[in-house]
Amino acid sequence: MRSVNIGLIGLGTIGRGVYDAIIQNGNMISRRAGVSLSLKGVCDRDPRALKGIDKRHCPVVTDSADELIKDPGIDIIVELIGGLEPAGDIILKSISGGKHVVTANKALLSARWKEIFEAASRKGVFVKFEASVGGGIPVIRSLRESLVANRFDKIYGILNGTTNFILSMMADKGSSFKDALKTAQEKGIAEADPELDVSGKDAAHKLSILSLLGFGVDVPGDSIFTEGITSIGPQDLRNASRWGYSVKLLAIARDSGDGLSLRVHPTLIPSRHLLSGVKGEDNAVFVKGDLVGEALLFGKGAGRKPTASSVMGDIVEIAGHLANTGRPSPVFPKLNYDPDKKLKDMEDLNIPFYLRFTVIDKPGVLAGISSVLSENKISIASVSQEERKSGKQVPVIILTHSSREGDLRKAIQKIDSMDFIKARTVVIRIEE
Ligand code: HSE
């Protein structure tokens, strides 16, 4: 049986999961795939990460990525260090050395996919990235293979486990954002530095990859309109629930005919929507295609074993091609890049909104707010003032009918400058 040699760079949570999977499931994989996987070397800059590596399973243990990249016996480099650099350099050097690459690096792919895939195409090597979006959920393969014949209207979903865990805990237990984040960190769900997650950037990087595959657009994650979850309070989740909604951080790509809208933000969705039932660190991606109709992909969006499962799938796929043909598939998978695809301006989005104003409870306040909304062509669907505290601060909640985002922003800016407004108004978009 042909043996395919792997060099694993980055032995953090996911890297360890891949190491364990090769060792524990290696024989089963060989039987299934007809190819033997051999871990030739592992690399990490932190000596603590390399502790306990069994040299019988993995002869090369090093802190130098170059040692693996330059090793002529290695067929596939698995990059699991994340971030832009040195990951970018490692991947490009591996490609130029003729090695196939497997990566989970959404930040890098979302920023530099063109350069990476052009280099891979020139060299005739694979770059596989199933683990970059949705952890263990096979979303990349589904879009590129099973669903490739579809014209998509929508691809949207919950693409970040940390924020979904936090919002679920705030909704179900009434926890504050801070306490829910602390629990997520204690459970090992959130990173020590959760900025990428709570700011929505991690989800934006993933959306950038999905929208390249599904709609052919080249929009780096950092250019996608992104709002995180830090301004959402437990009261917003309670209010939403009273009106029959839950709040989720959604990543949305929607082609409405007049352009593709890409955005990541907290969103009110009806409680009966399937995504409302996606709790904790789970992820789910909805796609709507002209052939398949609606399809939902659901599963663990993060974590050692689920993410390792996706990385292993990529490794085995490449290994299978190498064992069977000795070279990559003749139909080298193309990315569906469409430079002419029109993007929709966020200001032209037309959707309903949830607004939480913090006001002084006194005559004329509601009239003041509603007249500015009306001046800006925003129509009110429901209003509620939950507390009565004459002369004191209270929340007023307004749900609007579908309104233009640009008009709403103008109205909120004006309202927030009024003397009875005591805190920045919380605006959450609604998807029906
Ligand atoms: N930190 C991410 C999440 C997983 O919480 O979903 C890696 O992208």
Q: Give tens-digit pLDDT for 201-240.
A: 999 999 999 999 999 999 999 999 999 999 999 999 999 9
* Catalytic-residue membership of 99: no
Domain covering 146-299 assigned CATH 3.40.630.30 in the classification: no
Atom of ligand 1 nearest to the CA of 283: 6
- What's the CA-to-centroid distance between 59 and ligand 1, angstroms? 31
Separation between Cα atoms, residue 17 and residue 224, nearest integer Å: 31
Q: How far is the CA of 326 from the centre of ligand 1 (A)?
A: 35
Average pLDDT, the chain: 94
Both structure tokens of 78 = 């698995």
Q: What angle do CA 254, 258, 263 make, to 5 degrees?
A: 35
Map tokens 């330059």 to a residue.
70
Task: Please state the rounded mean pLDDT for residues 278-299.
Answer: 97
- Give phi and psi for 389, each to the nearest 5: -150, 80
Average pLDDT over residues 39-56: 95
Confidence of residue 330 (pLDDT cuts 50, 70, 90): very low
Three-state DSSP class for residue 404: strand
- Assign 410 a pLDDT band (cuts: 50, 70, 90): very high
Mean pLDDT, residues 238-254 taken together:
97
Please compute the mean of the pLDDT values over residues 336-347 and round it to a whole number. Answer: 88
Average pLDDT over residues 18-46: 94
Of the candidates 396, 364, 358, 362, the one whose C-alpha atom is nearest the C-alpha of residue 380 is: 396
**How sure is the predictor about 340, in pLDDT bands with cuts at 50, 70 and 90?**
confident
Q: Could you count the other beta carbons within 10 Å of the beta carbon of residue 173?
A: 11
Q: Which of 342, 333, 334, 356 is nearest to 422 (CA)?
A: 356
Question: Is the pLDDT at 129 greater than 60, yes or no?
Answer: yes
Superfamily designation of domain 346-430: ACT domain (3.30.70.260)
Both tokens assigned to 47: 């000596």
User: What is the predicted pLDDT for the residue at 327?
Assistant: 59
Quick check: 66 pLDDT over 90?
Answer: yes
How far, in Å, is the centroid of ligand 1 from the Cα of 157? 14
Cα separation, 239 vs 242, in Å, equals: 5
Q: Are 120 and 98 in contact (CB under 8 A)?
A: no
Per residue in 150-169, pLDDT (tens digit) is: 999 999 999 999 999 999 99
Distance between CA atoms of 213 and 252, rounded to whole angstroms?
A: 14
Distance 171 CA to ligand 1 centre (A): 20
pLDDT at 387: 77
Average pLDDT over residues 336-365: 93
Rounded distance between C-alpha atoms, residue 213 and residue 12, angstroms: 28
Ligand 1 binding pocket, CB closer than 6 Å: 160-162, 191, 197, 202, 301-302
**Does the structure show a pLDDT above 90 at 78?**
yes
| Per-residue confidence (pLDDT) for residue 190, from 0 to 100 | 82
Q: Of 47-51, 104-108, 118-122, 187-191, which gets the smallest average pLDDT?
A: 187-191
| Given 206, 248, 300, 344, the catalytic residue | 206
Task: Please check whether the two domains, 146-299 and 346-430, share a CATH topology.
Answer: no
Q: Candidates 103, 106, 197: which one to mutate for ligand 1, based on the most atoms within 8 Å of Cβ?
A: 197
Ligand 1 atom with minimal separation from the 159 CA: 6
Specify the higher pLDDT residue, 76 or 390: 76
Which atom of ligand 1 is found nearest the CA of 160?
A: 6
How far, in Å, from the CA of 133 to the mean position of ligand 1? 9
pLDDT score at 424: 96
pLDDT of residue 119: 93
Distance 160 CA to ligand 1 centre (A): 5
pLDDT surpassing 90 at residue 95: yes
Domain 3-135+304-336, CATH number (from 3.40.50.720, 3.30.1050.10, 1.10.1510.10, 3.40.50.970): 3.40.50.720
Helix (H) and strand (E) counts for the chain? 13, 18
Domains of the chain, by residue range, sit at 3-135+304-336, 146-299, 346-430
The residue to which tokens 């599963």 are assigned: 299
Using CA positions, which residue lies closest to atom 4 of ligand 1?
302
For residue 54, the number of C-alpha atoms closer than 13 Å in the C-beta half-sphere is 9
**DSSP E strand stretches across 104-241:** 127-128, 152-158, 225-226
Least confident piece of the model among 38-42, 251-255, 332-336, 366-370: 332-336
Residue nearest to atom 7 of ligand 1 (CA): 302
From the list 6, 220, 226, the residue with the least C-alpha distance to 108 is 220
Distance 293 CA to ligand 1 centre (A): 28
pTM: 0.95
Q: Is the pLDDT of residue 170 over 70?
A: yes
Cα 70 to averaged position of ligand 1 atoms, centre (Å) = 31
Strands 350-351 and 403-404, how do they pair? antiparallel
